[in-house]
Amino acid sequence: MVSDGASYQFDEIDRAIVALLKENGRITNRDIARKLNITRATVGTRIARMTSTGALRIVAATDFAAYGYDVLLAIGVEVHGRPAEEVARELARLPEVFAVHLVTGARELEILVAAHDFAELSNGVIDGIAGIPGIRSIDVGIAADIVKYQFDVGISR
């Protein structure tokens, strides 16, 4: 599902605002305005426009390990007898699932799951996933190490 933000056209001021927010998510509109030599109202209007169209989301990103998540799984999900979008919505409701993607390839869906330990997986996470109607099979990959995890993708043009 593509958000409305996909059609948003960023200009140089928008890019500069986003860059400052990425550098410091707690920066004030007044400080952004000072750094860019624009008015505080302009900053507020542009941030509101970017967020209302879905082109910008302001969130706090955390480290998995800081919350005690020591097991990360990438799970391919093969769907049969149900639309993949419906299965994806059900998977997205599971608290351990932090990302759900409709993909091309051997599987219709890919999900990313975080668990505190392997016992947590065997105590319901995998059963919860496999118990959703329409799932034919799952292919589980365990992350042995995280080489790169970059949450803040964005515009660089």
Beta bridge partners of 141: 74
Same domain for 85 and 39, yes or no, is no
pLDDT digits (tens, 9 = 90+) for 116-157: 888 887 777 778 888 899 999 989 898 887 777 766 665 554
pLDDT digits (tens, 9 = 90+) for 61-85: 667 777 788 888 899 999 999 999 9
Angle ∠(9,10,15) on CA atoms, nearest 5: 170
Same domain for 36 and 73, yes or no, is no
Same domain for 138 and 73, yes or no, is yes
pLDDT digits (tens, 9 = 90+) for 26-58: 899 999 999 999 999 999 999 999 999 988 888
* This model's pTM is above 0.85: no
Domain of residue 121, CATH code? 3.30.70.920
pLDDT band of 95, cuts 50, 70, 90: confident
Put the strands of the sheet holding 109-115 in their side by side order: 97-102, 109-115, 71-79, 135-142
User: What per-residue confidence (pLDDT) applies to 22?
Assistant: 86
Overall residue count recorded for the chain in this entry:
157
Would you say residue 4 lies in a domain?
A: no
Range of the structural domain that residue 48 is part of = 9-52
State the amino acid at position 80 in one-letter form: H
